[in-house]
Amino acid sequence: MNKSIIIDVCTILDYMLPHRKEHEKAKSAFSILLSKSIKVSMPAHGFCEFKSAIICEYKNKQGVLVRTDIDLPDIAILAIDESFVVNEFIPSLNSHGIIDLKSADMIYVVKAISTGSIILTQDKKMLSKANTLVDGLAVNYDSFIQLYA
């Protein structure tokens, strides 16, 4: 399988932060992403989500600094603009109906549908809703590792 992957912010946090429960699985998934040169992307708003999550992690861990000594794949930025609304979001609603997710998560799903990508996430609700719309649209670490290892 060689589909491009849209990564959810939770996967980057799991990979970067050893105290997170899914850190080891995230390391395995990112090792595959790096070694197989899989195209990786994230919607533009994901970078804002990431910054916000890092600030929360920093506050919750009483000022412990985030690791910066890790390799990340190149992450292409998927535009969220007028073209996205007109050419991807509205057509997705017309063809798939209501996507019952938070607005930020909905964007990941619409981008995956419109680009033919797979979402890598540990978000149970996003996994369930995305796969209800399109079977195999989203995978967790275990499924990703099984598909790509």
> Does the pLDDT value for residue 104 go beyond 80?
yes
**pLDDT interval class at 13 (50, 70, 90):** very high
Domain ranges in the chain are: 5-148
Pick the more confident residue, 12 or 62: 12
Which CATH superfamily groups domain 5-148? 5'-nuclease (3.40.50.1010)
Mean pLDDT, residues 122-143 = 96
DSSP assignment of 81-118? SHHHIIIIIHHHHHHH----S-HHHHHHHHHHHHHT-E
Pick the more confident residue, 98 or 56: 56
CA distance 5 to 51: 21
Q: pTM (2 decimals)?
A: 0.89
**pLDDT interval class at 85 (50, 70, 90):** confident
Mean pLDDT, residues 118-136 = 96
